[in-house]
Chain A
Amino acid sequence: MSGKSRIPFYRNPAVRGVIAQAVVLGLVAWALFTIFNNTVGNLRARGIQTGFQFLDQVAPFAVGYSPFIDFKLGESPYWLVFVIGIQNTILISILGIIAATTIGFIIGVMRLSPNFFLSRFAQVYIETFRNIPVLLQIMFWNFAVFLPLLPFPKDSLGIGDEVFLNNRGLYIPKPIFMDGAAPWVLVAAVALGLLAIILLHRWAKERQYMTGERPPGLLYGIAVALGLLVVVFALFEPLRFEFPVLGRFNLTGGIQVPLPLFTLWFALSTYTASFIAENVRAGIVSVSKGQTEAAQSLGLKRAPMLRLVIIPQALRVIIPPTINQYLNLTKNSSLAVAVAYEELVSLWAGIALNQTGQALVIIAMTIGVYVTLSLLTSLVLNVYNRRVQLVER
Chain B
Amino acid sequence: MAESVVFQPIVSRPPPLSETGLWHWARERLFGSVTNSLVTLICIYILYLLIPPMLSWAVFNANISGTDRSVCAANPGGACWTFIKVRFVQIIFGLHFGQHPEEVWRPVLGFAMLAGLFAWLLVPRTPYKVQVGLFTLFGFPFIAYALIQGEWLGLPIAPTNEWGGFLLTFTLASVGMVFALPLGIILALGRRSNLPIIRAISIAYIELWRGAPLITVLFMASVMLPLFFSHEIDLNKVVRAMIGISLFQSAYMAEAVRGGLQAIPRGQYEAADSLGLGYWKKMGLIILPQSLKISIPSIVNTYMTLFKDTSLVAIIGLLDLLNMAQTASRSLEWKGYDFEAYVFAASIYWVCTYSMSRYSQHIERKLDTSKRG
Q: Is A223 an interface residue (CB 8 A)?
A: no
Q: Mark B210-222, 1 if CB is under 8 A from A, else 0.
A: 1111111001100
Among B201, B213, B226, B350, max chain A CB count under 10 A is at: B213
Q: Contacts of A38 on B, CB cut-off 8 Å? A: 227-230
- Interface contact A136-B201, CB-CB below 8 Å: no
Q: Mark B322-349, 1 if CB is under 8 A from A, else 0.
A: 1000100000000010110111011001
Q: Is A363 an interface residue (CB 8 A)?
A: yes
Q: Mark A356-380, 1 if CB is under 8 A from B, else 0.
A: 0001100100110011111100100
Expressed in whole angstroms, the minimum distance between the Cβ of A263 and any Cβ of chain B is 13
Q: Contacts of B211 on A, CB cut-off 8 Å? A: 367, 370-375
Q: How far is the CA of A38 from the CA of B232 in the complex (A)?
A: 11
Q: Is A334 an interface residue (CB 8 A)?
A: yes
Q: Contacts of B341 on A, CB cut-off 8 Å? A: 144
Q: Is A148 an interface residue (CB 8 A)?
A: yes
Stretch of A19-27, A165-173, A383-391 at the chain-chain interface: A19-27
- Interface contact B315-A135, CB-CB below 8 Å: yes
Q: Mark A41-81, 1 if CB is under 8 A from B, else 0.
A: 11101000000000000000000000000000000000000
- Interface contact B29-A345, CB-CB below 8 Å: no
If the complex has contacts A135-B322, A136-B311, A363-B220, are A345 and B213 also in contact, measured as CB distance less than 8 A?
yes
Among candidates B36, B195, B349, residue contacting A136 with C-beta atoms closer than 8 Å: B349
Q: Contacts of B212 on A, CB cut-off 8 Å? A: 331, 367, 370-371
Q: Is A15 an interface residue (CB 8 A)?
A: no
Interface residues of A in 11-31 (CB under 8 A from B): 17, 20-21, 24-25, 28
If the complex has contacts A21-B198, A363-B220, are A370 and B353 also in contact, measured as CB distance less than 8 A?
no
Q: Is A114 an interface residue (CB 8 A)?
A: yes
Q: Contacts of B28 on A, CB cut-off 8 Å? A: 114
Q: Is A212 an interface residue (CB 8 A)?
A: no
Q: How far is the CA of A131 from the CA of B47 in the complex (A)?
A: 22
Output the nearest chain B residue to A337 by Cβ-Cβ distance: B315
Output the nearest chain A residue to B39 by Cβ-Cβ distance: A115
Output the nearest chain A residue to B231 by Cβ-Cβ distance: A42
If the complex has contacts A136-B342, A144-B338, A371-B207, are A39 and B198 also in contact, measured as CB distance less than 8 A?
no
Q: Contacts of A42 on B, CB cut-off 8 Å? A: 226-227, 230-231
Q: Is A177 an interface residue (CB 8 A)?
A: no
- Interface contact B231-A25, CB-CB below 8 Å: no
Output the nearest chain B residue to A31 by Cβ-Cβ distance: B228
Q: Contacts of B350 on A, CB cut-off 8 Å? A: 128, 131-132
Output the nearest chain B residue to A338 by Cβ-Cβ distance: B315
If the complex has contacts A127-B354, A337-B315, are A28 and B201 also in contact, measured as CB distance less than 8 A?
yes
Output the nearest chain B residue to A373 by Cβ-Cβ distance: B211
Output the nearest chain B residue to A43 by Cβ-Cβ distance: B227
Q: Contacts of A41 on B, CB cut-off 8 Å? A: 230
- Interface contact B215-A334, CB-CB below 8 Å: yes
Q: How far is the CA of A121 from the CA of B47 in the complex (A)?
A: 10
If the complex has contacts A17-B195, A136-B349, are A114 and B224 also in contact, measured as CB distance less than 8 A?
no
Interface footprint category on B:
35 or more
Q: How far is the CA of A363 from the CA of B230 in the complex (A)?
A: 20
Output the nearest chain B residue to A27 by Cβ-Cβ distance: B201
Q: How far is the CA of A72 from the CA of B177 in the complex (A)?
A: 47
Expressed in whole angstroms, the minimum distance between the Cβ of B215 and any Cβ of chain A is 5
Q: Is B290 an interface residue (CB 8 A)?
A: no
- Interface contact B349-A132, CB-CB below 8 Å: yes
Q: Contacts of A121 on B, CB cut-off 8 Å? A: 43
Q: Is A241 an interface residue (CB 8 A)?
A: no
Q: Is A335 an interface residue (CB 8 A)?
A: yes
If the complex has contacts A127-B354, A143-B338, A370-B211, are A133 and B308 also in contact, measured as CB distance less than 8 A?
yes
Q: Contacts of B227 on A, CB cut-off 8 Å? A: 38-39, 42-43, 359-360
Expressed in whole angstroms, the minimum distance between the Cβ of A374 and any Cβ of chain B is 4
Q: How far is the CA of A311 from the CA of B357 in the complex (A)?
A: 28
- Interface contact A148-B314, CB-CB below 8 Å: no
- Interface contact B201-A366, CB-CB below 8 Å: no
- Interface contact B354-A135, CB-CB below 8 Å: no
Q: How far is the CA of A117 from the CA of B339 in the complex (A)?
A: 28
Beyond A42-B230, A367-B216, 12 extra complex contacts between A and B, CB < 8 Å? A35-B228, A38-B228, A115-B29, A121-B43, A131-B304, A131-B353, A133-B349, A135-B311, A136-B349, A334-B216, A372-B211, A374-B210
Q: Nearest 5 A-B pairs (CB), nearest first?
A: A371-B211, A374-B211, A117-B43, A331-B213, A116-B29
**Can you show 28 pairs from A to B with CB atoms below 8 A apart?**
A39-B224, A43-B227, A45-B231, A113-B39, A115-B32, A115-B39, A115-B40, A116-B29, A117-B39, A135-B312, A136-B342, A144-B342, A331-B213, A332-B213, A334-B216, A337-B215, A345-B213, A345-B216, A353-B219, A359-B224, A359-B227, A363-B220, A363-B224, A367-B208, A367-B211, A370-B216, A371-B211, A372-B211
